[in-house]
Chains A and B, each alone.
Chain A
């Protein structure tokens, strides 16, 4: 992974000192509340319902064991011994003290981490596929490009006060695990007819109040032009995006107001002026960054572990179930990617304790070249585990409640913290997640239902991406009571689509039962091997709606 040089380190050290001084001046009454709000947000610090919340950046979801141990330490020292993984693959602390944040940042800087631009109306953390670099059909590893974008976005002086937040995702091939089509900019590595690798550029995706799927504005962008093209998009947006209404300020609104052709025209005109400026990438820089993402030193004899693994899978049914659910193919023979489930029974989805963080760091050192990835689905990934190590790894994960075999199933939910923590939320989410977990605790049933994506947001801001879940749940407040609106048929993958609302919101007590009804309709209608989402797409939402709202006899 990328390693800071003196300049990178100097930048984040300076940034810590700068933020420390801003905090000091705020506490001394020298910076008005509203202004400090913007400054602290650009450093990931929210003031929430019960305490501040600090969002720590995990650029493109990649960490080393030293960093994860430091996070464990920080949760012990400054927080309540746990952290939360977000859909932007960042890490949130729920209980830091505002006055201590500069100290937390100083500790993070010791391990090449920071909280720069994890919130606010600026360029946010760039995300990518959590299987980057290990999947066979990837055109190119997207992470070097994410790092190039990370550097360009970090403390960008022109684009720090955008009309609204701005998110970029990069995918390395045709599969999309980064929800790139619901990003302000989605970048897909593609190959053109001449065999050159470049980017397909999408713009104007986003969720929130008015969800949009991104639109292609350029089918092929040469690699060296990446930053100048991004600069052109951002400048057009900075100058033309709406600033009078924060609900209409995202780039998606500008793109639909102008029309994608007109928007693209403005971008191309600006790009014409700047494409040959110094910002144009150089081969030397691209090669240098790529050098940090060389394949791990895989062992040639890892394949020998396959026979051992075969026996272990036969002997231990529990291990086999986990292997089938929570591991994935790796392009190097003898290795597999392991998904560490942060979706245990009756615990907040995406939460991880200090002890678990330390365990994962140790396991990464022992079995995974010291690397840990955080995922958009709020889990962790150990991407390069040798076949012969899987059994021992599983045992350790299992001992620490990190091996629930539910990846890709109904209980592998994306859930925002909701009303319990978030000051924007209208409704609770964590108790509904518990309700769903209690109702659907039978793994045989979950496996029979198969691949399904359930996301639940506590308000219309849609942090849990409910619009693009197979089953989306949105908490709403009706006269002080929590109700839940259900959408079906959304997807954040390469076949991105927005879910359709099936009807009026259901009371909190009925959410899990309603999901059960929906799943019954699926089971009755599915054709052989058909996934839930495919059945919904084939038969539409009407049969589901009919059953859910059928009069009770």
Chain B
């Protein structure tokens, strides 16, 4: 699945999405665990050797992620449908909570939401093959003026120079 990181097509992805079956075998690698697994094995995972990421969607307990941000290097926010806007607020809250790791949009992610997602704090985007094109990186910065502050620049237009 193509991946965009910081507005460019990434050739490598060192993050491995694990599940309950195989997690034990990868505890010293950089892994992304689904939220349910993270909730079940929080202590073990927090104590693991490798980098840790959690994948969460809007129905799950975001607070548990927020409580463990110091140990997390990646949060993958799942969009079950492109119309589900909760992930935008998740990213915004992650950044204002001081999270500097990768925020990756996964699920129903396509060109026409990239710009808004980036403004809210996403810096990585996993795109389904059939929705991917090299030219989609042009979507970033399609509209150059921003009235409101957001995670990319907290200053609204009236505080910008």
Contacts and interface: CB of A to CB of B under 8 A. Distances in A.
Interface of A: 7-8, 10-11, 14-15, 17-18, 22, 30-31, 35, 38-39, 121, 151-152, 154-163, 227, 235, 238-239, 243, 273-274, 277-279, 281-282, 284-285, 288
A154 B92 contact: no
A37 to B, nearest CB: 10
B158 A22 contact: no
Interface string B63-100: 00000000000000000001111101100100010000
A160 B88 contact: yes
B143 interface: yes
Given A11-B143, A161-B85, 20 more contacts: A7-B157, A10-B145, A11-B144, A14-B145, A15-B143, A31-B112, A151-B147, A151-B148, A151-B157, A155-B143, A157-B88, A158-B119, A161-B82, A161-B113, A238-B89, A239-B89, A243-B86, A273-B96, A278-B159, A282-B159
B117, B149, B150, B158: which has the most chain A beta carbons within 10 Å?
B158
Contacts of A162: 85
A160 B116 contact: yes
B155 interface: yes
A35 B131 CA distance: 12
Interface residues of B, number: 34
A162 B86 CA distance: 8
Contacts of B154: 277-279
Nearest to A15: B143
Contacts of B144: 10-11, 14
B145 A158 contact: no
Nearest to A240: B86
A157 B151 CA distance: 10
B86 A157 contact: no
Nearest to A274: B96
Contacts of B146: 155, 157
Given A11-B143, A239-B58, A243-B84, A157 B149 contact: no
B36 interface: no
B112 A22 contact: yes
Contact of A14 (B58, B142, B148): B142
A157 B147 CA distance: 10
B87 to A, nearest CB: 9
A277 B92 CA distance: 13
A8, A163, A238: which has the most chain B beta carbons within 10 Å?
A238
Chain A interface, DSSP helix/strand/loop, else mixed: helix
B82 A158 contact: no
B88 A158 contact: yes
A227 B143 CA distance: 22
A296 B96 CA distance: 44
A66 to B, nearest CB: 22
A224 to B, nearest CB: 11
B156 interface: yes
B115 interface: yes
B110 interface: yes
Contacts of A284: 158
A238 B112 CA distance: 19
A14 B144 CA distance: 7
B50 to A, nearest CB: 31
B126 interface: no
A339 B49 CA distance: 73
A157 B157 contact: no
A515 B157 CA distance: 52
Nearest to B115: A157
Nearest to B143: A14
16 contacts: A7-B145, A18-B142, A31-B112, A155-B143, A157-B116, A157-B120, A158-B88, A158-B89, A158-B150, A160-B85, A161-B83, A161-B85, A238-B86, A238-B88, A243-B86, A282-B158
Nearest to A158: B88
Contacts of B86: 238-239, 243
Contacts of B147: 11, 151-152, 154-156
Contacts of A227: 148, 156
B83 A278 contact: no
A278 B120 contact: no
A22 B89 CA distance: 25
B115 to A, nearest CB: 7
A156 B148 contact: yes
B83 A38 contact: yes
A219 B114 CA distance: 38
A79 B146 CA distance: 32
A18, A161, A235, A282: which has the most chain B beta carbons within 10 Å?
A161
A161 B88 contact: yes
A227 B157 CA distance: 13
A156 B115 CA distance: 11
Contact of B112 (A35, A151, A288): A35
A343 to B, nearest CB: 36
B117 to A, nearest CB: 8
A15 B146 CA distance: 12
Contacts of B133: 30
A286 to B, nearest CB: 9
A238 B84 CA distance: 9
Contacts of B85: 121, 158-163, 238
A18 B143 contact: yes
A6 to B, nearest CB: 9
A277 B142 contact: no
A7, A35, A38, A158: which has the most chain B beta carbons within 10 Å?
A158
B92 A158 contact: yes
A273 B89 CA distance: 14
A125 to B, nearest CB: 15
